Amino acid sequence: MKGKKKYLPWLYSSPALVLIGIIIVFPIFYTGFISLTNMNLFHWMDYRVIGLGNFKRALFKVDSGFLKAILVTLVWTAFNMVLQMAMAYFIALGLNAPGLKARRLYKTLLMFPWAMPAYVSILLWRVGMYNTEFGLINKFGSMLGLPKMNFLSENIPAFLSCLALNLWMALPFMIMMFDGALQSIDKCYYESARLDGAGFLQQNINITIPFIKPIMAPAVIMTTFTTFKQFDIFYLLTMQKGAYSGATLQTIITYAHQNAFVSNNYGLSSAVSIIIFGIIIVLSLFTNRGVREEQAAGSAKPTRVKYRQKKSAVDIRRRRNVRGNEDKHEKI
């Protein structure tokens, strides 16, 4: 009887495990197998195993374009994360400023870019903002006497255009996460800090940032991975069906897509996908360890801070009681 109960959990979870195996595990192994072959449009059925040839071509052949795509991806991720975190943090601080009116209205309006379908947002920006002839940016520029600019014709303007669009789409989520983290901090900390003479910068360094770090770590990691494997913005703005807008920007995701569906080199595309998968796995291991350390440090810090908070709160009550007694004596 005990033996049957031991296997019951596996029996109940077996349909889900089979489904996970079909949807996730099998495609990974099949992609790994294709990466070891020369499968392409001309060798669809009669492909042969070539070992690590595709990996060598991607990693060690200078003109393959893969190393350049990795560099663009790393720069893209770094710029996005630094700007997103800085801008979202200060906007969230503004939303939590005391005395701010229509706070809920501002938060509702901020959610619209994030709630809109990404495909619709990207095409709206491509046609309505970045278009050379009738885009809003060039329209305002013409009113100021500035020459019309093709934002997607060269790599640097196209990169900055993609960056601006991604910030517009991703900032609301990060702002809401920072806003929730800020609201979880007890206001007594700031009251105690102000009584000790701490200014805005000191309050942020010593109170706000240490408290929100453990809360924000998972959101930052998730956003980093999402930005790292960004595809739709680059593809819809600068290239569609292999037709470039003038810029030749490639991230590792668009590079894999081009080799698979434009060049029809499925072996090389699969090798690139496996490399991307390996990079994400390694980053996940490091970031998960970092999150655990941050959360452990965060759970230890509040104990000391709470002690100081309680002590300061007691001092505040004592001062208020003393002032109240003095007022009573004056009235008497």
Question: What is the Cα–Cα distance from 220 to 174, expressed in whole angstroms?
Answer: 8
Reported confidence tier of residue 97, pLDDT bands at 50, 70, 90: confident
3-state class (DSSP) for residue 327: helix
Question: What is the Cα–Cα distance from 150 to 307, expressed in whole angstroms?
Answer: 59
Question: What is the Cα–Cα distance from 254 to 237, expressed in whole angstroms?
Answer: 12
Question: What is the Cα–Cα distance from 190 to 282, expressed in whole angstroms?
Answer: 39
Q: Is residue 101 assigned to a domain? A: yes
> What confidence score (pLDDT) does residue 42 get?
83
Contact 159, 249 (CB under 8 A): yes
Reported confidence tier of residue 328, pLDDT bands at 50, 70, 90: very low
Question: What is the Cα–Cα distance from 316 to 320, expressed in whole angstroms?
Answer: 6
> What confidence score (pLDDT) does residue 303 get?
39
Q: Write out the residue range of the structural domain in which residue 99 sits.
A: 35-185+223-293
Q: pLDDT averaged over the chain?
A: 83
Q: Is residue 69 assigned to a domain? A: yes
3-state class (DSSP) for residue 259: helix
Q: Is residue 157 assigned to a domain? A: yes
What is the token pair recorded at 205? 């360094």
3-state class (DSSP) for residue 240: strand
| pLDDT at residue 102 greater than cutoff 90 | no
Q: What percent of the chain has pLDDT over 70?
A: 83
Between these two residues, 69 and 328, which has the higher pLDDT value?
A: 69
Task: Give the torsion sign (CA, 193, 195, 200, 202).
Answer: negative
What is the token pair recorded at 283? 């980053």
What is the token pair recorded at 253? 């995701």
CATH, residue 129:
1.10.3720.10
Question: What is the Cα–Cα distance from 229 to 67, expressed in whole angstroms?
Answer: 15
264 sits in the region (left: phi over 0; alpha: psi -120 to 50; else beta) called left
Between these two residues, 39 and 239, which has the higher pLDDT value?
A: 39
> What confidence score (pLDDT) does residue 34 get?
94
Q: What is the mean pLDDT of the segment spanning 106-128?
A: 89
| DSSP secondary structure, 171-230, as one string | HHHHHHHHHHHHHTS-HHHHHHHHHTT--HHHHIIIIIHHHHHHHHHHHHHHHHHHHHT-
Q: Is residue 254 assigned to a domain? A: yes
Q: Is residue 28 assigned to a domain? A: no
Q: What confidence tens digit (pLDDT) does each residue in 41-62 have? A: 888 888 899 999 999 988 888 7
> What confidence score (pLDDT) does residue 322 get?
46
Type and span of the H or E element at 244: strand 243-244
Q: Is residue 300 assigned to a domain? A: no
Q: Is residue 319 assigned to a domain? A: no
> What confidence score (pLDDT) does residue 245 get?
59
Give the number of domains in the chain.
1
| pLDDT at residue 210 greater than cutoff 60 | yes
> What confidence score (pLDDT) does residue 269 get?
93
Question: What is the Cα–Cα distance from 293 to 301, expressed in whole angstroms?
Answer: 12
> What confidence score (pLDDT) does residue 171 get?
92
Half-sphere exposure of 20 (CA within 13 A, CB side): 5
Question: What is the Cα–Cα distance from 264 to 219, expressed in whole angstroms?
Answer: 36
Q: What is the value of pTM for the model shown? A: 0.80
Q: What is the mean pLDDT of the segment spanning 265-271?
A: 92
> What confidence score (pLDDT) does residue 172 get?
92
Q: What confidence tens digit (pLDDT) does each residue in 271-327 have? A: 999 999 998 888 888 877 766 776 666 555 543 444 344 444 445 444 555 455 545
Q: What confidence tens digit (pLDDT) does each residue in 130-178 have? A: 988 888 999 998 888 888 888 888 889 999 999 999 999 999 999 999 9
Q: Is residue 312 assigned to a domain? A: no
> What confidence score (pLDDT) does residue 85 get?
93
What is the token pair recorded at 167? 């910030």
Contact 120, 233 (CB under 8 A): no
